[in-house]
Amino acid sequence: MKISKKVVLIGHFGVGKSSLIRRFVENTFSDDYKVTIGVHIFKKKVAITEEDKDISLVIWDLEGNDDIRDTRTSYLLGTHAYIYVFDVSRPATYMTIKDDIDYLKQHCNKTLIKIVGNKEDLLTKEQIKQLNKEIEPLVDFYTSAKTGNEVDELFSKLAMELI
Amino acid sequence: MLKTYKKEHGKTIIQYLVVDFNGQILESDDVLFSNVKAQNITDINPFFETLIPLLETDHEDYFFNCIHLNLNNKSITADITLKTFNKEKYPLLTITDLSSHYKHYQTTAQVRNESVINSQILELKNSYLREKEEFKNTFIANFSHELRDPITGIITFSDILTNTPLNDEQQNYLQILKSSSNFLKKMIDDILDISKIEVGKLKLVLKPFNIRELLNDINANYSIRAKEKGLEYVSTIDEKIPTQIGGDAIRLRQVLTNLLDNAIKFTEKGSINFNVSLNQIRAQKASIHFEVIDTGMGIAPENIDSIFKNFTQINNPLSFKGSGLGLAIVKYLVELTHSKISVETELGKGSTFSTNINFRLEPESKQKAKPLKKTITKPIKQDKKYNILLVEDSEITQLSVLKILARKGQFFLDIVSDASEVIPRIENSEFDLVLMDIKLKDQWGDEIAKKIRQLPEREHKRVPIIALTAKIFSADLKKYKKAGINDVVKKPFDEITLINTINKYLK
């Protein structure tokens, strides 16, 4: 049976949502920042070996906003999972994380949400540890689209949970 | 004709598609992409997978703006609408190619986002630098503070040694010891001042004072110092200067003595001129001009800006002692009065440092200006013995206070090192005065003072408490006063200062 799930990446602009997707789908990275406007849609098949199944992730790369409440609601129709991305090196991108996650839960309480701190390569392990203590709710993954650290792990875990 | 023009030159940007309830394409006008009939829309682009569950809804309109699609190897940015009807009519998909419109929007968003991100990064870098600077200043302040107890010990015991039988050689050694410890004390004071200035904690304390007394005192000291170096010292004080003015006397003295120290340090022959004159009196304010002229080595034009920076010595630093902070402190302090320090200089001929500072006018005191002398001023009853409690955990300071008081022969000294012992000791004895260290190992001295003031016995509420501390920021002084501390002796202290302060409170 063909399983296809819609995954939406959401968060402030410049946090690396497009880079995470590019790393996962094409295994590439570019340092040049190109603003996303509207939405780009990608598809990648993920094999779940434990279950002997494949799942197609239809990944929506949304344009970043200062406030996620400004996101066009039509983009969120039929979403199976959110990946909320913030930039560990820019506090402005995680200052409102608690309110943002509450907002998402309020609007789609059964939808899976993963919280991801991207650009972890810009901080030391000690700084990440400190940051992790400060941020609420709990961060699921600290990733680096640049080095690829934890990117596959993030999408594989998500795929497993979606199946 | 219009129909022909439209056919020849019109741009068609909308494609219509009719699909069945499973997404199979039934009809297409092939405007944007062709040969799609019989395909499923989900095969064209993954975007359309989202629409499948919506196809069977009843009379709904769905709008999707700014969707990036790859169609027949051509990238477009489109607005897409889905219109559903009832089960008898198939849904209609409309795809409007707005690529050129969104391209413009993309450029605007790029500029805007980059600018916001850059300003956030800049702010972050600034805050990191501020934190680093604050850490450095706090470290310096704490470190300097820790040096004060041993310096108090050196100064006190040097004073005590002066009054013991010494041969000439020993007297010479003692003089070197005293001048070195005073020099060290000055350096620590300078470093502490700079660290306070840099974290914005140094504030002027404006009070009425007698400026003539202050200037006479400075002249008395510096005429001797200039003479010791073989320099002529000439001071001209304008008679029109009001005697009583309002300002920060301590900081004014610091500015003037730093300028004079600097002049003497860098002048090998010739003279030092110290001139003070009245510019004007207006709106209850007196503007006073201060000028220090030397015939020293002067400063090269390219170095003038850097002499007011921290830790700068233009000439070979090995030849001249000092932290290089004197002029930096002068600049900061003068700027705190909303004024400026200026310098005119010629290499090899000398320099003139000058500033104009505004002071508040105060009612004139009838008292005649007298040079200040640091002597023990108030006599205490010679036949009475006084009980003093010293709360102090530094053994050096304990010994210093003990020696100073023992030499007077009028005091019994009780010493407590542990904060927890203070209250029981006070409850079980009668003290005439308490000397309280502020930074004890396990408690703050002002907290202990508060507890003393809360004791039920009336005499405990009245016993004078004098703080011994290097923490004398204006916020600290307010805190001590609130805790019931009567006075403060700044560490490192000398014998005269300590005895004078104690005597003020003894009956």
Domains and CATH numbers, chain B: 12-97 (3.30.450.20), 128-198 (1.10.287.130), 207-361 (3.30.565.10), 386-504 (3.40.50.2300)
pLDDT at B171: 86
Q: Percentage of residues in chain B with pLDDT exceeding 90?
A: 37
Please answer yes or no on whether B66 and A74 come within 8 Å at the CB atom. no
Question: What mean pLDDT, rounded, does chain B reach?
Answer: 85
CA distances to A101, A141, B81, B298, B417 from A137, rounded to whole Å, are 8, 12, 37, 64, 48
Q: Give B58 or B319, the one with higher predicted confidence.
A: B58
Name the residue ranges covered by the structural domains of chain A.
3-162
Return the minimum-mean-pLDDT range out of A97-111, B287-301, B359-373.
Answer: B359-373
Q: Does A39 touch chain B (CB under 8 A)?
A: yes
The three-class DSSP label of residue B283 is coil
Q: How confident is the model at residue B250 (pLDDT cuts 50, 70, 90)?
A: confident
A 57-116 near B (Cβ less than 8 A): 58, 63-64, 72, 74-75, 77-78, 89-92
Q: What is the pLDDT of residues B177-231, one digit of tens each?
A: 887 787 788 778 777 777 777 767 778 888 899 999 899 989 988 988 899 889 9
Confidence of residue B86 (pLDDT cuts 50, 70, 90): confident
Can you tell me which residue has the tokens 């996650």? Answer: A101
Task: Mark B455-491 as b/e (b = at least 16 C-beta within 10 Å).
Answer: eeeeebeebbbbbbbbbbeeebbebbeebbbbebbbb
Cβ–Cβ gap A41/B46 under 8 Å: yes
pLDDT under 50: residue ranges of chain A: none
Specify which residues B78 forms β-bridges with: B67, B97
Asked if A41 has any chain B CB less than 8 Å from its own CB, the reply is: yes
More confident residue, B10 or B408: B408
A77 to B77: CB separation less than 8 angstroms, yes or no? no
Q: Does B96 touch chain A (CB under 8 A)?
A: no
Average pLDDT value for residue range B133-161: 80
The predicted structure's pLDDT at residue B366: 47
> Alpha-carbon distance A60 to A42, whole Å?
7
Alpha-carbon gap, residue B469 to B480, rounded angstroms: 11
- CA B101 to CA A130: how far, in whole Å? 44
Q: Chain B within 8 Å of A29 (Cβ-Cβ)?
A: no
Do B18 and B91 meet the contact criterion of CB atoms below 8 Å apart? yes
Of chain B residues 23-62, which have a CB less than 8 A from chain A?
Answer: 45-47, 49-50, 53-54, 62
Nearest CB neighbour to B120, from listed A42, A63, A90: A90
Whole-structure pTM value? 0.56
pLDDT given at position B278: 93
- Which residues, at least 6 apart from B8, have a Cβ–Cβ distance to it below 8 Å? none
The region of weakest confidence among A92-96, B76-80, B171-175 is: B171-175
pLDDT band, very low/low/confident/very high, at B313 (cuts 50, 70, 90): low
Return the CATH class of domain A3-162: alpha beta
